[in-house]
Amino acid sequence: MEKQSIKEYMEMYCKMTYGKTVKHATTAEVWSALSTAIMSQIVDRWYVTNKAYKSQKMAFYISAEYLMGRALGNNLINLQEYDQVKDLLKELNINLNEVEEMEEDAALGNGGLGRLAACFMDSSATMHLPVQGYGLRYRNGLFKQCFKNGEQVEEADEWLKYGDPWSIRKEADMVYINFSDMKVKAIPYDVPIIGFGGATINTLRLWQAEPLCEFDFNLYNNQQYDKALEQKNRTEDITRVLYPNDSTEQGKLLRLRQQYFLVSASVQDMVRDFKRRHGNVFDDFAKWHAVQLNDTHPVLAIPEFIRILVDEEGESFEKALGTARKVFAYTNHTILQEALEKWDAYLMQKLFPRIYQIIEQIDAALVQELREKGYSDDRINMYHIIKEGKVHMAHMAIYVGFAINGVAKLHTEILKNTELHHWYELYPYKFQNKTNGITPRRWLVLANQELSSLITEKLGSNEWMMDLSLLKQLTKFVEDDEVLERLQSIKYTKKCQLAECIKAREGIEIDPNSLFDVQVKRLHEYKRQLLNAMYILDLYFRLKENPNLDIPKVTFIFGAKAFPGYYRAKSVIKLILAIGDLINRTPEVKDKIQVVFVTNYSVSYAERIIPAADLSKQISTAGKEASGTGNMKLMLNGAPTFGTYDGANVEIVAESGEENNFIFGLRVEDINNLRNNYNPKEYYDKSPDLKRVLDAFIDGTLDPANTGCFRDLYEALLVGKNWERPDQYYLLADFKAFKAMQDKVFECYKDRRKWAQMSLMNIANSGAFSSDRTIMQYASEIWGISPIS
């Protein structure tokens, strides 16, 4: 990149956009100018990649969520221009870090599923794979979280407030979307996805809903101003907000509209492109296109594709269905029943009657196939797509899709053997596993430049950034004191940086010499932040009893957003904040342990927290966490896993060794055995420490004003609520094992050399969890595409 031309571009941009020189620009203005200048440098290469793909089979990833985070730093890393640009800014008296900090996160996703999509984009471009993403350009991403009176409060996330230099509006590629009650425009915004090294630049195409006309002139003339804007508002509502739910279905009409808007725009775009390149012979569609459906949110792409082929291109239904069955593949991300989408049939009929008709036809084709195979009516009933007035999105995806995959080995096995067993019997050849992964560029090269430099120095080159399996070579340093000491000193540096950041953002001081015990992820009962909290409360009581208890100083760090309507998840946040306060108020305890719940956990916050973690808490109820990806990021940054045998934890431990991690608690088969006669109250009665912890929920210890705000949590664990059994997630059953294992952590942490060795073994064995590996498996085992040369 040309240093001089970047400077000149920035000057020109500031003059033209803000009417001032770079010298007088605000940090946000500098961010915009610099980002635009970088864009100007990459557009030609972007064009070259697009052109090269014209003669390739392509894969399209359709996802309702992309949790991208910030773009500037990451793009500079991937262009390998970070240091040059840092110097260049220095010449202008500008600090690159401050500019990076200005950028708002693009939080167009909730949690793991959305961040996975973002990691896949990065890896596809880095691996030179012809992959394009389709998504929605929500005006407001995931809500901003703050705490007021010890509770979560949500605010709108205005990520576009400083503009959007990282996308190009492609007005000419607009398509129309028809609903039964309205017609709207879908305008694409193309985001460049810069592969590491900068040679390949892929595209993430995000659709924005816009009205056919800005306002109704006649109504306006008649002074009916609100009414004149009604249509515009209703249209813009479609892409106004991201639904802030994670792993729970949210059956809202507007959400269904969003889903159809996303898939209709994307499928129309693909068909148009296909026709331009290959003409009208749709038999060949699957030769040139594979479409991956990220969870069930985009599954309406299937009937929409068939609709276009039948209604607009004159194909027969049978032929169109046959083509669809070679084009679509589906990824399942959860077995939680409440997350499996089932839409009311009447809603679909109301919003898009033609799509509903096609779904009925698909269902009929499925039934016919099963009849031909000799299935009884009873058995067929298990497979129906439309059942009891609901449309089962996963059933449609599995019947039509040519491949279905789970996201970690254990999860895929559960799908095959339990949750989707009948489908597995029908189509065993469709089932595959693709264990999730994370991009090492954002999660190590960008987030932990200190550790990256050490690795590059010790391995003799930076090739590991594109082939993470090379980290294996680090195992040879496991007895090397110099390396072990440097690892420790890097961890200490990252902890100091995090402490500073927490001081600035939260106004809380933490001690970088304490053990940083980290649990960061969305708040959900199955993830069991409450179990961690119960342990801390128990530790509080133990320390009060015996202030000389032999444990290292610990800082428990939490970060999590709760779905705004998820009452119990919000109570858990409140409880953890209350425990933190209680500890702060107790002199004999507060110098030993501290609890920090950071506000507004996000991708950019994760980039600070993860490199600073000493311990990675992954304590979901066995069988419930499909994979997890935070576990991989923490491992890559040298934090041993403290976790259950669940999701990708199983594979993490297999790679880095049980002796380098802390695995505890019930396994899937234990829970299956326990399920029918589980009585949490027995654990409470038999264990005085558990009793002490749970009683503190309701006896005023945590709730001095005695409002009873934690009674629901107490009852959910001990007596159950209405339809639900007590302690559905087996916290009480796992408490004892948790406690024993945490005591082991404290014991191990005393031997700092040993700890550094465990840390090194985790880093060295994290190569398997690169999303480069994952995406190459999707490419060869599902999509049938290969890297362009």
Interacting residue ranges for ligand CR6, rule: CB under 6 A: 111-113, 116, 246-247, 295, 333-334, 339, 407, 436, 625-629, 647
The tokens describing 781, both together, are 């085992």
Closest distance to ligand CR6 from the beta carbon of 248 (Å) = 9
Q: Which is nearer to ligand CR6, 268 or 644 (CB)?
A: 644
Phi, psi of 192 (to 5 degrees): -75, 135
For the bound state, the minimum distance from the C-beta of residue 646 to ligand CR6, rounded and expressed in Å, comes to 9
**Nearest CA among 35, 27, 30 for reference residue 11:** 30
Shortest spacing between CB 135 and ligand CR6, in angstroms: 15
Measured from the CB of residue 440, what is the shortest distance to ligand CR6 in angstroms? 17
Both tokens assigned to 385:
């797509």
Residue placing its CB nearer to ligand CR6 in the complex, 701 or 770: 770
Beta-bridged to residue 133, according to DSSP, are 61, 204
Least distance in angstroms from the C-beta of 574 to ligand CR6: 22
Which among 232, 241, 228, 134 has a CA at the least distance from the CA of 185? 232
Is residue 422 part of the annotated active site? The answer reads no
User: CB–CB of 36/13 below 8 Å?
Assistant: yes
Instruction: Confirm whether 232 is a catalytic residue.
Output: no
Question: Is 599 considered catalytic here?
Answer: no
The answer to whether residue 624 is catalytic is: no
Toward ligand CR6, which CB reaches closer, 401 or 628? 628
Query: Residue 225 CB, nearest distance to ligand CR6 (Å)?
Result: 41
- How many whole angstroms separate alpha carbon 40 and alpha carbon 47? 12
CA distances from 727 to 305, 567, 595, 680, 709 (A): 44, 16, 24, 7, 18
351, two tokens? 């919003």
What the block records as the tokens of 436 is: 């999730």
Q: How far is the CB of 657 from ligand CR6 (least distance, A)?
A: 22
* Other residues' Cβ atoms within 10 Å of the Cβ of residue 492: 13
DSSP conformational letter for 140: B
The CB density around residue 87, as the number of other CB atoms within 10 Å, is: 11
Tell me if 711 sits within 8 A of 698, measured CB to CB. Answer: yes
Whichever of 495 and 521 has its CB closer to ligand CR6, that residue is 521
Q: Which is nearer to ligand CR6, 264 or 436 (CB)?
A: 436
Q: In terms of C-beta distances under 8 Å and separation of at least 24 residues, what long-range contacts does 153-160 make, across chains too?
A: 154/244, 154/564, 157/104, 157/107, 158/104, 159/104, 159/105, 159/106, 159/107, 160/104
Q: CB count, 10 Å around CB of 616?
A: 29
CA–CA separation, 50 and 130 (whole Å): 9
The whole-angstrom separation of Cα 397 and Cα 305 is: 13
Q: What minimum distance in Å lies between the beta carbon of 627 and ligand CR6?
A: 4
Helix segments in 387-480, DSSP class H = 393-400, 409-414, 421-426, 440, 449-459
Q: For ligand CR6, which is the closer residue by CB, 610 or 732? A: 610
Based on the residue annotation, tell me whether 387 is a catalytic residue of this protein. Answer: no
Q: Residue 614 in contact with residue 422, Cβ under 8 Å?
A: no
Nearer to ligand CR6, 82 or 783 (CB): 783
Cβ atoms 189, 169 nearer than 8 A: yes
Residue 209: its H or E element: strand 201-210
Backbone torsions φ then ψ of 75, nearest 5 degrees: -65, -35
- Residue 615, φ and ψ in degrees, nearest 5: -140, 140
Rounded least distance, CB 769 to ligand CR6, Å: 11
Decide whether 394 or 487 has the Cβ nearer to ligand CR6: 394
Phi/psi at 432 (5° precision): -140, 160
Dist CA 690 CA 692 (whole Å)? 5
CB of 624 to ligand CR6, least distance (A): 8
Alpha-carbon distances, residue 280 vs 286, 289, 677 (angstroms): 13, 14, 61
CB of 110 to ligand CR6, least distance (A): 7
394 vs 295: CA distance, rounded Å = 8
Residue 36 vs 296, nearer CB to ligand CR6: 296
Identity of the residue, 22 or 113, whose beta carbon is nearer to ligand CR6 in the bound complex:
113
**Active-site residue, 711 included:** no
Cβ distance to ligand CR6 smaller for residue 391 or 407: 407
Using alpha carbons, select from 426, 436, 380, 383 the residue that is nearest to residue 405: 436
Strands 615-618 and 641-643, bridge-based pairing: parallel
Distance CA 255, CA 298 (A): 11
Of 205, 210, 206, the C-alpha closest to 184 is 210
Look up residue 483 and give its two tokens: 């390396």
What gap in Å lies between CA 708 and CA 710, rounded to an integer?
A: 6
Closer residue to ligand CR6 (CB): 235 or 334: 334
Report, in Å, the least distance between residue 655 CB and ligand CR6.
17
Residues contacting 114, CB < 8 A, separation 6+: 63, 65, 66, 67, 108
Nearer to ligand CR6, 449 or 728 (CB): 728
φ and ψ at residue 276, rounded to 5 degrees = -65, -40
Q: Which of 633, 641, 739, 773 is catalytic?
A: 633
**Which one from 70, 297, 307, 333 is the annotated catalytic residue?**
333
- Active-site option among 200, 629, 641, 701: 629
Residue 648 C-beta: closest distance to ligand CR6, Å:
7
Using the structure block, give the residue that is written with the tokens 């009480």.
Answer: 732
| Residues designated as active site | 333, 521-522, 527, 629, 633
